[in-house]
């Protein structure tokens, strides 16, 4: 029996191959219809199962993570290193995105007529950075019961942070409650182990759907842009992030890939950092062996805030739209794109195509036509796979790097 990792890999390859074949058979046939129906059903059950454990898991992971971190004298360092890592790795990703777009300049000479119709019917809600920021701030502090029920991850994260800190400040008196959370977390991890048994089937179905339903005509029209984005995203994921990891922790990319692949494949297939979160936590703790308190803090926070792939994409796509519109963005305008893309990526929830929604903010910031998002929508399902994978990779690498720094500080100052 192949290992779970091997099964997932085989399932991914088979899913893409069979989906590609199905695409040839054509959407009119009964086989196509039924296979797609079955794939849809299995894919959605897989994601539903992951979402089922998501909120209880995030909640208990953070409470326990923070409570245990607080016990460590270096909690301030963990906060700082985590946030510095998030901002620096996203900045690197955006610089890379802007660099390749300025170099390759895809988008010049594309016939816009093809997209005119969808652009006319495209609707969007106006956003300005101040409003966006106010909304973002409001969304942080909510009635926890409401946030838990709605599955609003960021608000759940914030409440869990408060609760974790309160538990530690309260000390011995709340020991029992902390123990209950700890046991509860163990139970969730057990359930995730069961859900992972059907991960190969879920990933197979997702990728089959993706390959069977892609619109090839649009893919070829926008080929240069698509290849530029995929190339830059992969470069960040395969070269930049692993280099950072190696430089700071001396862990090799191969070692990382072995431990992280379940999560990376799940992210690729589902295009959702949130849905992947249970798997990310499992891989970071059990395979990459990062301390539970650090994983519990960095990974859930990173799933909503740390999005290298999304930041790269939002910055690059703004330049693409400028090229299509025949506008040459100046250096200072590109600086604005850089800053708003950072906010937009941090504000995007870890859901499929969430980056497309916050993209409006980036386009508006430099006066680009927002309707042009209609051009990006048909290719988003494909690009989202890559950027979500790199988003999740960034969270796992971030945990390893934060752990390394905290260990260093521990040895210098003593525990």
Query: How many residues of this chain bind ligand ASP (CB under 6 A)?
Result: 16
User: Does 340 interact with ligand ASP (rule: CB under 6 A)?
Assistant: no
H or E segment at 354? Answer: helix 354-365
Tokens of 362: 């980036």
CA 188 to chain centre: 21
Residue 292 CA to residue 151 CA, distance in Å, equals 23
**Which range touches ligand ASP (CB under 6 A), out of 121-129, 237-245, 291-299, 384-392?**
384-392
Least CB distance to ligand ASP at residue 121 (A): 22
Site residues for ligand ASP, 262-281, by CB under 6 A, read: 271-273
Check residue 211 for interaction with ligand ASP (CB under 6 A): no
- Contact flag: residue 350 with ligand ASP (CB under 6 A): yes
Q: At what angle are helices 75-104 and 292-305 packed, to 10 degrees?
A: 40
Please give the C-alpha separations between residue 383 and each of 219, 341, 377, 386, in angstroms, as whole numbers.
11, 17, 10, 6
CB of 273 to ligand ASP, least distance (A): 3
User: Does residue 299 touch ligand ASP according to CB under 6 A?
Assistant: no
The reply on whether position 354 binds ligand ASP by CB under 6 A is yes
Per-residue tokens: 3: 């290992």
Q: How far is the CB of 267 from ligand ASP (least distance, A)?
A: 7
Note whether 317 binds ligand ASP by CB under 6 A: no
Min dist CB 390 to ligand ASP, Å, is 9
Specify the residue, 202 or 350, whose C-beta has the smaller distance to ligand ASP.
350
Selected from 329, 388, 393, 401, the binder of ligand ASP by CB under 6 A is 388
| Out of 185, 290, 307, 341, the residue judged to bind ligand ASP by CB under 6 A | 307
Q: Which is nearer to ligand ASP, 164 or 355 (CB)?
A: 355
Query: How many other CB atoms are there within 10 angstroms of residue 408's CB atom?
Result: 13
**Residue 355 interacting with ligand ASP (CB under 6 A):** yes
Closer residue to ligand ASP, CB minimum distance, 185 or 305: 305
> Which residue in 70, 118, 139, 353 binds ligand ASP (CB under 6 A)?
353
* Dist. CA 86–CA 402, nearest whole Å: 11
Nearer to ligand ASP, 245 or 356 (CB): 356
CA distances from 20 to 26, 219, 383, 394, 412 (A): 10, 14, 17, 30, 55
Cα(89)–Cα(345) distance, rounded to whole angstroms?
12
Q: How far is the CB of 269 from ligand ASP (least distance, A)?
A: 12
User: Does residue 64 touch ligand ASP according to CB under 6 A?
Assistant: no
* Residue 352 in the binding site for ligand ASP (CB under 6 A): yes
Q: Binding to ligand ASP (CB under 6 A): which residues in 94-113?
A: none
| Nearest alpha carbon to residue 144 among 125, 129, 133, 157 | 157
- Helix segments in 198-307, DSSP class H: 199-213, 216-221, 223-235, 241-249, 253-270, 273-282, 292-305
Name the residue with the smallest CB distance to ligand ASP.
355
> Does 233 participate in binding ligand ASP (rule CB under 6 A)?
no
Nearest to 349 by CA among 358, 341, 338, 362: 358
Near ligand ASP by CB under 6 A: residue from 387, 393, 401, 403: 387
The terminus-to-terminus CA distance of the chain in angstroms comes to 45
Closer to ligand ASP by Cβ: residue 63 or 307 = 307
101 neighbors 319 (Cβ within 8 angstroms): yes
334 binds ligand ASP (CB under 6 A): no
Sign of torsion over alpha carbons 85, 396, 133, 233:
positive
Tell me the DSSP string of 310-347.
Answer: HHHHHHHHHHHHHHHTT----HHHHHHHHHHHHHHHHH
- Looking at 344, 391, 397, 406, which residue binds ligand ASP (CB under 6 A)? 391
How far apart, in whole angstroms, are the C-alpha atoms of residue 124 and residue 404?
43
DSSP helix/strand/coil, 76 = helix
371 binds ligand ASP (CB under 6 A): no
- In the complex, the residues that contact ligand ASP under the rule CB under 6 A are 271-273, 307, 310, 348, 350-355, 384, 387-388, 391
């Amino acid at each position: 029996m192949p290992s779970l990792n091997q099964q997932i890999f085989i399932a991914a390859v088979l899913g893409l191959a069979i989906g590609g074949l199905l695409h040839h058979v054509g959407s009119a046939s009964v086989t196509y219809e039924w296979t797609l129906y079955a794939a849809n059903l299995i894919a959605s059950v897989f994601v539903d199962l992951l979402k089922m454990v998501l909120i209880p898991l995030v909640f208990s992971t953070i409470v326990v993570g923070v409570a245990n971190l607080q016990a460590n004298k270096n909690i301030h360092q963990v906060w700082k290193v985590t946030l510095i890592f998030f901002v620096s790795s996203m900045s690197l990703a955006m610089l890379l995105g802007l660099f390749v777009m300025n170099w390759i300049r895809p988008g010049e000479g594309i016939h816009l007529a093809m997209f005119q119709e969808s652009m006319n019917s495209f609707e969007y809600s106006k956003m300005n950075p101040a409003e966006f920021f106010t909304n973002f701030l409001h969304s942080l502090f909510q009635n926890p019961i409401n946030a838990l029920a709605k599955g609003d991850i960021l608000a759940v994260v914030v409440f869990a942070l408060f609760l974790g800190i309160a538990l530690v400040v309260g000390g011995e008196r709340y020991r029992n409650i902390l123990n209950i959370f700890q046991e509860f977390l163990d139970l969730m991890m057990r359930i995730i182990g069961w859900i992972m048994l059907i991960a190969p089937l879920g990933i197979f179905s997702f990728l089959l759907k993706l390959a069977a339903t892609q619109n090839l005509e649009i893919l070829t029209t926008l080929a240069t842009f698509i290849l530029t984005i995929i190339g830059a995203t992969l470069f960040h994921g395969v070269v930049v992030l692993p280099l950072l990891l190696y430089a700071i922790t001396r862990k090799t990319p191969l070692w990382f890939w072995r431990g992280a692949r379940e999560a990376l494949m799940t992210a690729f297939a589902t295009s959702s950092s949130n849905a992947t979160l249970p798997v990310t936590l499992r891989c970071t703790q059990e395979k990459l062996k990062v301390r539970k308190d650090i994983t519990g803090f960095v990974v859930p926070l990173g799933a909503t805030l740390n999005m290298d792939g999304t930041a790269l994409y939002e910055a690059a796509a703004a330049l693409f739209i400028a090229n299509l519109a025949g506008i040459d963005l100046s250096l200072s305008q590109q600086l604005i794109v850089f800053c708003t893309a950072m906010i937009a990526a941090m504000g995007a929830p870890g859901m499929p195509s969430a980056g497309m929604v916050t993209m409006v903010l980036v386009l508006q910031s430099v006066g680009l036509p927002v309707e042009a998002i209609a051009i990006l929508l048909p290719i988003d399902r494909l690009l989202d796979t890559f950027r979500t994978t790199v988003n999740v990779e960034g969270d796992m690498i971030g945990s390893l790097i934060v752990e390394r720094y905290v260990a260093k500080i521990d040895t210098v100052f003593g525990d």
